[in-house]
Structures are given as structure tokens and as C-alpha cells.
Amino acid sequence: MISYLDIKSPSEHVLFNVDSGGVATVTMNNPDKHNAFDDSIIFALNHLFQAIAKCDDINVMVLASTGKSFSAGADLGWMKRMASYSYEENLSDANALAQMLKNLNFLPQPTIAKVQGAAFGGAVGLASCCDIVLASDKASFCLSEVKLGLIPATISPYVVNAIGQKASRRYFQTAERFFSDKAQQLGLVDEIFSLTDLDAGVNAMVNTLLANGPVAVRQAKQLTFDVAYQDIDEALISTTSERIAAIRVSSEGQEGLTAFFEKRQPAWQANVEKPTTSTNKGEG
């Protein structure tokens, strides 16, 4: 494991910082090009996601961007270069993007995408890979690849998982632009805020996550990957029983249970602003 103090962004177009609460923010910082990404930005994002995954002192990651647009997807100059690449060079290039998306999707920490404006092409993939997507009412989305005679291939597993096969069949083929309200209906966006309230909405969600046991949050995220689409058989029942038993006797589980019965905050909440959402005891 490493500390976040050891992490540096390899690109001026991707910023990285961590606050005192262990909240990391990865910011695409190329507003003049609407945060479109090329191979160097994909490399920087992948480098940061891999490093964050190894940090016990990072509890939440926010993916954001500067300027009016979240991201315009692929940079035009990069696409022009790719058009002259061989098949082998294109395959290597696509694999780099695919690995970056995979590392974001399976990041151990909870992830929040903060979408303030347009998210086109691969940017829809970035949002789909995050656990929670908070968008402004000015945000818009478009799976625009077919307009260029291409397909949204590397992002497709994550987008289909986010919005479902039926909606994907439509928007992959039509390249229609849709807005925050429709994205929320489809399941891509979780909550919508006015542009001026988006920062506050992100902060509230961060505090909601930080109010929970950090080890439990990571294990809960992994649980969703491990049990999804599985047969509810004796093996799955046994595995899930073992997991709840193990975390009950863990140091974090013991602290959480003790704090609950002693009517006090658990240790991990010491410096966390109390969330306004309701709570419950969960699975005992």
C-alpha cells in the first residue's frame, strides 16, 4: 500500500488532490478542448486510478473537470492520428482506454462523477464506471460514435450496465443527445442539481459516504460485483454468511456495533459532517 502523498499526476491536464478527510479529486483540466481526452490523458487517468486503488488513506474519489463541459470524449487530434494507425496500433490504443475504464470501474473506494456540462462519447463511459453520478441541470449526454462511423465499443460494458440493454440499443444507434432528466430516468444519473448547487450536492454525498465504515464501504462495493447475476445457491449463501460473520468480528465492525449500543459516534465519524439522510441498522 502507498500513501496519497506519494501520488503525482503525470499530466498538467489531469489534476489530483486529496483533502484532510481522505477525499481524492481527479480533475480533467483541458477546458479549451472541452476536456477531450487523448492517449496522454488516458495514461494519466489510468496512472491515478491504479495509484488510488492502492491507498488505504483515500476513502472517496470524485471525478470532475474544469470549464463548461465534463468531457467531449476523444480529442480530434488524437482521432486524426488514430485514423492513420495500423490495426495493431489501434488495438493497442483501444486496450489502453479499456484498461483505464476497468480500473475506474473496479476502484475499491466509492466513486462520484460530478458532471457539470456536456459528456459525449467516452465521457459517458467514464460516468458509467462511477458508483454515483451527480449532474447539473445543464448536463447533456451523447453516445456519438456512430456519427463518425464508429462504435462505443470499449465503454459498452459499463454503459449497458448503467442504462440497460434496451436503452443502449437505441442510443448506441441513434447518437441522440439527451439531458440530465432523461439520463436520470435511464439510471445513468443519480441526482440532479442546479449548476450553482452541484458542489454542495457533491459535498453532501461525500459526507454521507464518510459517515460509514470505510472498510465496510469497500467490502459493500465489492459485494455488488461478486453477487450480481449469481445463482442463489448454497455456495452463494455460504459465502455471504461468511462475509457478514467476518466483518462483525473485525475491528471496524466491533467499533460500529459498540458505538451504536453506546449511543455515540464511531471513531471514523470524528471529523465528518453529519449527513442529513436517514440511517438504519442494516443487516445485523
128 and 232, same domain (yes or no): no
Residue 188: inside a domain, yes or no? yes
d(CA 38, CA 78): 5
Domain that residue 246 falls in: 213-269
Q: Which of 209, 225, 253 is the last residue before a domain boundary?
A: 209
Q: Which of 209, 228, 258 is the last residue before a domain boundary?
A: 209
Beta pairing partners, 133: 113
Question: Of 101, 137, 104, which is closest to residue 24 (Cα–Cα)?
Answer: 104
pTM equals 0.93
* The three cell numbers locating residue 25: 479529486
66 and 114, same domain (yes or no): yes
When mean pLDDT is compared across 29-33, 61-65, 187-191, 272-276, the lowest value belongs to 272-276
Alpha helical stretches, state H, the chain:
39-53, 76-83, 87-105, 122-129, 156-163, 165-174, 180-186, 198-210, 214-227, 234-248, 251-261
What are 64-113's pLDDT values in tens digits?
A: 999 999 999 988 888 888 889 999 999 999 999 999 999 999 999 999 99
Distances (CA, A) of 108 to 38, 67, 125, 171: 25, 28, 18, 30
Distances (CA, A) of 174 to 58, 121, 157, 181, 185: 39, 13, 18, 18, 18
Q: Is the pLDDT of residue 280 over 80?
A: no
51 and 134, same domain (yes or no): yes
**First-residue to last-residue Cα distance in the chain:** 31
* The three cell numbers locating residue 185: 430516468
Residue 277: inside a domain, yes or no? no
217 and 184, same domain (yes or no): no
Share the mean pLDDT of the chain.
93
* CATH number for position 258: 1.10.12
Q: Which of 191, 209, 227 is the last residue before a domain boundary?
A: 209
Query: 10 Å Cβ neighbour count for 176?
Result: 12
Residue 275: inside a domain, yes or no? no
When mean pLDDT is compared across 154-163, 187-196, 214-223, 269-278, the lowest value belongs to 269-278
